[in-house]
Structure 1
Amino acid sequence: MAARRGERDPPDALQNRFHAERASKERRWQLLFTQYTVNPLHPDEFLKLLHRAAVVPREKYSEPQTESQEIGWHTTPLVPFDHNDTRFYFPRRTTEITIHGYPAPRG
Structure 2
Amino acid sequence: MAARGGGKEPPDPVWQNRLLSEWVRKELRCQKLHTQYGVNPLHRVHVITKKPMSWHDNIEEPADAKFLNLIHHAALEPTKKYSEPQTESQEIGWNTTPLIQVDRTDCRLYFPRRRTDITKCCHGARGGAV
TM-score (norm 1): 0.49
TM-score for both structures, normalised by structure 2: 0.42
The structure with more radius of gyration: 1
User: Greater helix percent: which structure?
Assistant: 1
